[in-house]
Amino acid sequence: MTNADAAARVAIVGSGNIGTDLMYKIERNPVLEVAAMVGIDPASEGLARARDRGYRTFDTGAKALEDILDEFDIVMEATSAGAHEANAPLYEAWGKVAIDLTPAALGPYVVPVVNLTEHVGAPNVNMITCGGQATIPMVAALGRVAPVRYAEIVATISSRSAGPGTRANIDEFTHTTARGIEQVGGAERGKAIIILNPAKPYLIMRDTVHALLAEEPDPDAVYAAVAEMAAEVRRYVPGYRLKRDPVVEGERVTVLLEVEGSGDYLPPFAGNLDIMTAAATRVAELWAMSGARAPREERA
C-alpha cells in the first residue's frame, strides 16, 4: 500500500501459477497494487502466499468480490475460459475493467506493443495465448516491411510449464493464437502449432515465426523491423530475444525467438507463462496511467 495515490488496485481472480506470478509482478509495479486474491481452493498455495503478504483473500470464487467493490478497480482473471465466461457479467455489472488471461476471449485481443492503445477503454480485453504474446509482435513487425500473406508460428514449451487446463484443451491454444495472428498481427492467414518437450534441464520457451510476405523484402529492413520490435517487447519481458538473425529466403522469412521468464514465481524456463503475466501487467499499467479510471477522491 506504499503507492496508494498513484496505484490502480487489482483483484486477482485465480490463485494458480499464473495468478500467483501476477501478484509478484503487480506489487513490483509502481502504478499498480494488489487489492485481493480470489481462489476456490482454501488450501491453494497462491492464496497462502497472498495471505502471508497481507492481502485480502477469498476462497469462494469471484462473487466474493461483491463485498469489497470500492476496494479495487481492475480484475485480472487467471482461471479458465469457462470460469471467465461465468464471471465476466459480474465484472461488467460492477463496472470493473477485466483483463482476461484465459482463452475465453470475450473482449478484443490485446498485445501491448501492437494494439493496446486501440482498446485502452474497453471494459474487457483478452490476452490471447502465450504463443500469441510471443509471436504476434513479430508478425506485426514484418507487416511494417511488407504485407504478410501468411504467418505460421511454432511455440515450443517445456512440458513442465504446461498446466492441466492447457493440456486438456489444446485446440483452444491453436485456434486462439491463429486468430490473434490474423486480427492483431495483421496476417491475411494465420496458423499456430504448439509442441511440448519434456527434456531436462527444462527447455526455455522457443518460438518460431514463419511468414510469407506479399513481396520480396529487403533483408536489412526485416532485420531492423524485427530488432526494433524485440526491443519494445523487452521493456516488459526482459528475457525476450532474437535467438538468431532472421532468415530471409525470397518472400519467406523465419524469425527464431527465445523467451526467458523473469523468475518471479515461475521458474525462468517458463517464459510462456511469464510473457502472459508480464503482458497483462503492462496492460493494467497502461490502463492505470491512461486516466481511464476515476480519480481516487471520486471513487471514495
Partner 1 sequence: MSIGERPITLVDTTLRDGSHAVRHQFTEDQIRSIASGLDSAGIPIVEVTHGDGLGGSSLQYGFSLLEEGAMLRAGAASLERARLAVLLLPGIGTHVELEQALEIGASVVRVATHCTEADISPQHIAMTREAGATAVGFLMMAHMLPPAELAVQAKLMASYGAQVVYVTDSAGAMLPRDAAERVRALRDALDPSVEVGFHGHNNLGCAVANSLAAVEEGATWIDGALAGFGAGAGNTATEVVAAALDRAGADLGSVKLFQLMDVAEERARPLLPSSTTTSRSALMLGYAGVYSSFLLHAYRAADRYGLSAAEILSELGRRKMVGGQEDMIIDVALEMAQARKG
* CB of 20 or CB of 135, closer to partner 1: 135
CA distances from 277 to 73, 147, 170, 289 (A): 18, 30, 20, 18
Q: List the grid coordinates of 22.
A: 501476477
> Is residue 130 among the annotated active site residues?
yes
Q: Assess 76 for contact with partner 1 (CB under 8 A).
A: no
Stretch 238-257: interaction string toward partner 1, x if CB under 8 A:
-----xxx-x----x-x-x-
Q: Are 35 and 22 contacting, i.e. CB atoms less than 8 angstroms apart?
A: no
* CB of 159 or CB of 289, closer to partner 1: 159
Q: Assess 189 for contact with partner 1 (CB under 8 A).
A: no
Q: Assess 183 for contact with partner 1 (CB under 8 A).
A: no
Among the listed residues 12, 76, 81, 130, the single catalytic one is 130
Q: List the grid coordinates of 106.
A: 470475450
Closest listed residue to residue 281, CA positions, set 63, 6, 34 = 34
Size of residue set near partner 1 by CB under 8 A: 34
Closest approach of Cβ 215 to partner 1, in Å? 17
Q: Assess 179 for contact with partner 1 (CB under 8 A).
A: no
Task: Figure out which of the listed residues 194, 204, 205, 266 binds partner 1, where binding follows CB under 8 A.
Answer: 194
Q: Which is it for the CA torsion 108, 111, 117, 122, positive or negative?
A: positive
Task: Figure out which of the listed residues 4, 43, 93, 199 binds partner 1, where binding follows CB under 8 A.
Answer: 199
Task: Figure out which of the listed residues 208, 262, 272, 281 binds partner 1, where binding follows CB under 8 A.
Answer: 208
Task: Figure out which of the listed residues 3, 117, 197, 290 binds partner 1, where binding follows CB under 8 A.
Answer: 197
Q: Which of residues 157-176 bind partner 1 (CB under 8 A)?
A: 159, 162, 164, 167-171, 173-175
Task: Figure out which of the listed residues 119, 149, 191, 241 binds partner 1, where binding follows CB under 8 A.
Answer: 191
Q: Which of residues 123-152 bind partner 1 (CB under 8 A)?
A: 150, 152
Q: Assess 227 for contact with partner 1 (CB under 8 A).
A: no
**Alpha helix segments (H runs only) across 123-270:** 130-145, 164-168, 170-183, 219-234
Binding region for partner 1 (CB under 8 A): 150, 152, 154, 156, 159, 162, 164, 167-171, 173-175, 191, 193-199, 206, 208, 210, 212, 243-245, 247, 252, 254, 256
Residues known to be catalytic: 130
